[in-house]
Amino acid sequence: MYQDEKIKSLVKDLAGDFLERESNKTSLVTVTRVELTEKGHKALIFFTVLPDDKAEEVLQFTKRKRSEFRDYVREKAKIGRMLNFDFVFDIGEKNRQKVDDALRNAK
């Protein structure tokens, strides 16, 4: 649905801005995608982290900041319904990067 795509894009941009603003700058956090679940009432925000050893620390940080992020979205976006948010480490993206690296090194 077109409206869902707009919401996902907006949430992705806002999550990137929020994490950049709130983080302690010891790692690079990249929001890779947003998935809507539960009939559009919950948004899963997928991210990757560099360096890799900071992933668990960043995941715990994002879990603690969920309610602040919800307030941030409420303040910055005019969406008809307020979503519940959760942050998830994007293992699929990390695996894709490993495959790309392996292919590059094989050449």
Return contacts of 65-72, CB within 8 angstroms, 24+ apart.
65/18, 65/22, 68/18, 68/22, 69/14, 69/15, 69/18, 72/14, 72/18
DSSP helix/strand/coil, 95: helix
Please tell me the predicted confidence (pLDDT) of residue 52.
87
How far apart are the C-alpha atoms of 40 and 2, rounded to whole Å? 12
Domains of the chain, first to last: 2-106 (3.30.300.20)
Q: How confident is the model at residue 94 (pLDDT cuts 50, 70, 90)?
A: low
Helix ranges (H only) for the chain are 2-22, 55-64, 66-76, 91-106
Question: pTM of the predicted model, to two decimals?
Answer: 0.84
* Neighbour tally for 71: CB within 10 Å: 11
The string of pLDDT tens digits covering residues 19-48 is: 999 988 889 999 999 999 877 789 999 999
Please tell me the predicted confidence (pLDDT) of residue 79.
79
